[in-house]
Structure 1
Amino acid sequence: MGNETVQMVFGLLGGLAIFIYGMNLMSEGLQKAAGEKMRSILSLLTRNPFVGVLAGALTTAVLQSSSATTVMVIGFVSAGLMNLPQAISIILGANIGTTMTAQIIAFKIDDYIWPIIFIGFLMFFAAKKEKIKYVGQTIFAFGLLFLGIMYMGSVMKPLVALPFFESMMLYVRNIPALGVLLGTIMTLVVQSSSAVIAVLQNLAAQSGPDGVQSIVGLQGALPILFGSNIGTTITAILATIGGSTNAKRTAIAHTIFNISGTVLFIWFVPQISAIVQMVSPSGPEVQVIARQIANAHTFFNIVCTLIWLPFVGMLVKLVTKLIPSNEVEIEGKELHPIYLDYKILDQPVFALHLATRELSRIAEMIVPMMDRAERSFVEEDEAAIEKVMEMENNIDILQDASVKYLSSLFSNGELTEHQATQVAGLMHVASDIEHMGDQCQNIALFARDKIKHEYKFSKEALDEIRGAFEQVKEMVSLTIRALNEGSEDLAQNVIRQEDEIDRLEVRLRKHHMNRLEQGKCSPEFTVIYTDIIHNLEKISDYCKNVAEAVMKDINFVHES
């Protein structure tokens, strides 16, 4: 008997492992198959709460995990890409999206599992085209998911015959709070409400002593289901460790949503059971209860969302009172990345978006850095020289952090070929931005030399340098816009401007030679003057490199 119990426990754990692996593999396949269409979800986020709910449901349907969506949303809130009302509406949608897994599980496809696995395997391993491979991966993972469910069902049959188990289920049915606690603990351990509900559906599909009624029953299953919704909020809370105030507020809002739903619904278990049975297929309980549980899961989350949706503003005020703002957060952002979030590396589409935003933020430091480099040279401002040195150090630190983040995306091994090209392109962009900072530093060093040796340039020469700075600063600003918007038109404009800067360098050199001939400038100034102009021209070269990357390697619009 002891040996049988051990086999049963490990059989259940093994089936659960296959199920979770299948679910994760299916999520990866769906993300890769969806490709850049996933990015279009981001454009929905700035609209009204109803559209946010839709975006949350769609994202979760692809990611196959409300926890993954919630962690991603918390990352976006921390980075300032999303405000609190938007985040809350998306999390409401995520709770609906996660019920899709339970609905899929409720289908009885035991006879088709092996053909599905085989077809998916063939497409996954034999197809040449990336898209077909990812569709095959999704089908293969879908089969594995059901294989895990089928195996869990087979090992549970002897379990329900144990007197201890039968009496435990009786307690759960009679004491709903016990079921809520059980569902919460199970989800905390497994870290997946979908997995817990899959186990629950399998368990409920086992008949009691009469061979007709479920060992658990719908009324016994509902509290466990409610508890699993509470358990899944812990993942979100853990994701906020070290996060911003708004990130913590987002996680608390998620917790309030799920706990309030449970507190409300727990008093109406018999009534909810009656409604669910009314809208679900009829038949012997053990045959239809998996679908009933799936429908109850969907019903619970849709009703809770409809209740809370008009009160999103009130929920925002509540969590803002519970977690007051922290003024210290706004300090020191120049030295630390604010968009990079390692918790969402498993969702490359969104991780790439964050990396691009961080690189744009670093690039935005170049224009004020050029302002100070110009002031240091033209106005001989020594404080500006020191500021340029400090900013260059900050850019180096942020560039290094960005490259490490992009390298982590590579090592994660979940990129499509197109995404791998995008990552490589962004690494080159990071290098180009860092080189722009180096050129500004060079100009500041020339300024230090100019001050030290008391070089005096003609007004004409200084006016030309000012004009060159303005033209290149305009080009840098245009490059940042092209990178932010992924605009090919803006990128082409940058490339055209680079040709103009090349011609400008040649023209200014000639002007300087003319001034030398006329005795307006001293020969010893020639090296510094031409070096300043050349460093500005090098900044334009790096802008051109970024623009070319926007048009080719990191193009987020056209997926190869």
Structure 2
Amino acid sequence: MTLTMFGSLLGGIGLFILGMRLMTDGFKYAAGRSLRGILARSTRTPLRGILSGALITALVQASAMVTVATIGFVNAGLMSLRQALTLIYGTNIGTTMTGWLVAAVGFDFNIQAFALPAIGAGMFLRVLRGESRAGRLGEALAGFGLFFSGLDVLKDAFGALGQSLQFTAISGNGLLAMAAFVGAGFLLTVLLQSSSAALAIILTSAAGGVVGVTDAAAMVIGANVGTTITALLVVLGATASAKRVAAAHIAFNLITGVVAFAVLPLILNFLEFVQALLGLSAGPATELALFHTVFNILGVLLLWPLTGHLARFLETRFRRGEEDLARPKYLDRTLVATPVLALQALIRELQRLGDLSRAMAKEAISSERVDPRNLEQERATTDRLVDAIGEFSSRMQQSNLPPILAEVLPNALRVSRYHSEMAELALMVGQSHGRAEELGPADVMEPVHAFKSRVVRLLSELDRQRVDFDEESADKKMKELQDAYQDLKSRLLRIGAEGRLPVRRLVEELDTLSNIRRLAEQADKAARYLKTLRDYLDQEHQNDATSPSPSETSPHQDS
């Protein structure tokens, strides 16, 4: 191999991977919200889930994008694990489209005649329309052109390489020889971190005569199994739901790979028989693309009847992290690459944090003799969740966010801060109850208990209004609460002036009531800002001049 050959090979791989990345990013931002809707509607039956996963993956050429979206839906409770499994099956079938693209262009076709105009038109659209949906589609089109440009370079590199290099040293029909080629395909995918790039290299090398069809088929099996390493790396430290989806992906690829390896000669002989029967003369690339598709479909047929058993088995796994209240349940770093799904997961975690802080507040307010140690543990739990939410939000900010999400994301930090302050105030209220003496006469106790009950009812209403927060009703209730607090404060001051309540005890009770009032205010602010996040999530995912800014839709400023 000459230095020129090596440079051409390296450059072709680089162009191919860059094209895949641009295609993935372009489709991800242009169709993120649409993808969410399509997947949500397309998993009502197992067959629809498989077909949808295959079709979407084939169109966007990004199985990782569909897998991440699937994890997001399972995390958000919008999709069951069983439904997710059908999408995973379909995604593996959809990845075979790369092979068909390589085979479809042929090797007498002038690829650059198509690729260069696609790159030019795509980048022109990207520059002209910027971050809009049309601009992102232009980016995907340019990536598509680069995809084929890289393919053209690989074709020439392997064509020259095939004349001077043959893998005769390990080629053969023995089990060890086939296993060596499976290992080569596996290693290629792990090194490139892209099964599509590995598959393109394998198919073009077979077409260039570097490896035989049987050896290349073994490498295709290895490339298919190699994607499991990517899945393992992605879910390290991820949520239990993400680990279950990744485990399903790994199980599918391993089982399919083992079966395909065991019956490799039979599948290839069957494909040759079909070609001879139909009078077809397919080249190596077409034959390998067909092989890749057939053994993935075979894997689906094998696992489809076992989907229910596999889902139930996986749901019993990875429970320890899920049962830890302080560990995020919905936040998953794999979602950061898909902003709409990341924001959805962030909202779900903020709702969960709100549930914990409101429960802690109601416990502190309602119990006259609460154990401060329990509250301290609960406070530590909320602190850890707040830290995780902050870290996740920071990761989102560092990614390439659409402007509308970049502007609204700080509201998530406001919500987490309000819930953190609620937890701190609840701890202070609980500690004050532990130190306080009885107020004394019933005419003193009754209005205090009535005020506390009013706040507990307000917190309970916020629990019920997690999704549909009514700002008008909340304004009215908060005004009534403020009026009730001022009346109670005046009443207690009069009682203290009459000498019916010790000054020290009066000051302690006023401080506690002030903390309870502030606690209600923080809960109200958190609910208002959380509503703005949900409103942005519901808006059309696009960046145009008419989109409202956070300053136009955010609630009143912090006091």
Q: TM-score per shorter chain, which class?
A: 0.7 to 0.9
- 2:123 and 2:142 in contact (8 A); partners too: yes
Q: Secondary structure at the match of 1:165?
A: coil
- Is the aligned partner of 1:421 residue 2:419? no
Letter matched to residue 398 of structure 2: S
Summarize the alignment of residues 480-491 of structure 1 with structure 2, pairs less than 5 Å apart: 481-482=466-467, 490-491=468-469
User: Is this contact kept in 2: 1:516–1:522, CA < 8 A?
Assistant: no
Does residue 534 of structure 2 align to residue 556 of structure 1?
no
Higher mean C-alpha displacement, 13-22 vs 495-504: 495-504
Tell me if structure 2 keeps the 8 A contact 1:183–1:227: yes
Question: 1:40-439, aligned counterparts within 5 Å?
Answer: 40-41=37-38, 43-44=40-41, 47-57=44-54, 60-61=57-58, 64-67=61-64, 69-70=66-67, 84-108=81-105, 109-128=111-130, 130-162=132-164, 164-165=165-166, 167=168, 171=172, 176-206=178-208, 216=211, 218-242=213-237, 244=240, 246=244, 249-274=247-272, 277=275, 282=280, 285=282, 288-316=283-311, 325=317, 328-329=320-321, 333-376=324-367, 379=368, 381-383=369-371, 385-412=372-399, 414-439=400-425
> Counterpart of 2:426?
440
1:167 is paired with a residue whose SS is coil
Q: 460, 466, 475: which one pairs with 2:461?
A: 475
Q: 2:477 aligns with which of 500, 511, 514?
A: 500
Q: Distance in 1 between matches of 2:538 and 2:205?
A: 45
* Correspondences of 1:527-542 after superposition (within 5 Å): 527-528=510-511, 530-532=513-515, 534-542=517-525
Separation (CA, whole Å) in 2 of partners of 1:303 and 1:400: 45
Residues 72 and 345 of structure 2 are in contact (CA less than 8 Å); yes or no, is this contact kept in structure 1? no
Measure, in 2, the Cα distance between the counterparts of 1:495 and 1:390. Answer: 35
Q: Give the counterpart letter for 1:165 in structure 2.
A: Q
Amino acid at match of 1:53: I
The alpha-carbon distance between structure 1 residues 46 and 431, as it changes in their structure 2 partners (threshold 3 A), is: farther
- Report what 1:486 is aligned to: none
Distance apart, 1:29 and its partner CA: 0.4
Report Cα offsets for 1:74-130 as digits up to 9, x if no partner: 687789876553443222111012122333333424312111111111111222461
The 8 Å contact of residues 276 and 295 in structure 1, kept in 2 or not, is answered as no
The 8 Å contact of residues 359 and 430 in structure 1, kept in 2 or not, is answered as: yes
The AA in structure 2 aligned to 1:476 is: L
Q: CA distance change for structure 1 residues 533 and 290 in 2, over 3 Å: closer, same or farther? A: same
* Conserved 8 A contact 2:415-2:526: no
Amino acid at match of 2:455: F
RMSD: 3.6
Cα deviation digits, residues 280-299 of structure 1 (max 9, x gap): 9956x5xx543443333223
- Code of the residue aligned with 1:305 in structure 2: it is V
- Aligned counterparts of 2:330 and 2:200: Cα–Cα separation in 1: 35
1:316 shift after superposition: 4.8
Greater Cα shift, 236-245 or 12-21: 236-245
Letter in 2 for 1:403: G
- The residue identity in structure 2 corresponding to 1:496 is S
2:34 equivalent among 32, 37, 42? 37
Q: TM-score, normalised by structure 1?
A: 0.82
* Paired residue secondary structure (1:555): helix
Q: Is the 8 A contact 2:336 2:342 kept in 1?
A: yes
**Are the equivalent residues in 2 in contact too, given 1:124–1:137 (CA < 8 A)?**
yes
Distance 1:194 1:407 in 2: 31
Which whole-Å deviations, capped at 9, do the CAs of 1:292-338 have from their partners, x for residues lacking one? 43333223322321332122234457x66xx985775455x222223
Greater shift in the superposed pair: 511-520 or 237-246 = 511-520
Structure 1 residues 551 and 165, CA gap change in structure 2 (3 angstroms): closer
Deviation per residue, 1:229-286 (Å, 9 max, x gap): 1222222234454565746743542344322441354141333423674799956x5x
Q: Is the CA contact 2:322–2:329 (under 8 Å) kept in the aligned structure 1?
A: no
Task: Give secondary structure in 1 for the equivalent of 2:163.
Answer: coil
What runs of 5+ residues in structure 1 fail to find an aligned partner? 209-214, 483-489
Q: CA deviation at 1:506?
A: 0.7
CA contact (8 A) 2:12 2:151 kept: yes
Question: What is the identity, as a one-letter code, of the residue corresponding to 1:549?
Answer: T
CA spacing shift, 1:498–1:255, aligned 2, 3 Å: same
**Is the Cα contact below 8 Å between 1:106 and 1:291 reproduced in 2?**
yes
Are 1:468 and 1:536, in contact at CA under 8 Å, matched by a contact in 2? no
Q: Which residue of 1 aligns with 2:553?
A: none
Q: 1:81 to 1:391 in 2, by over 3 A?
A: farther
| Cα offsets for 1:390-427 (capped at 9, x unmatched) | 32232122112111111111112x22123323433322
> Partner of 2:486 in structure 1?
509
Pair 1:510–1:79, CA change in 2 (3 A): closer
Name the TM-score, length of structure 2 as normaliser. 0.82
Deviation, 1:67, is 4.8
The separation in 2 between residues aligned to 1:426 and 1:176, in whole angstroms, is: 53
1:9 pairs with one of 2, 6, 11: 6
Of the structure 1 ranges 436-445 and 272-281, higher mean CA displacement relative to structure 2 is found in 272-281
Identity of aligned residues (%): 27
- Hey, what's the Cα distance between the residues in 1 that align with 2:416 and 2:50? 35
Partners of 1:67 and 1:235 within 8 A in 2 = no
What is the total number of aligned residue pairs between the two structures?
525
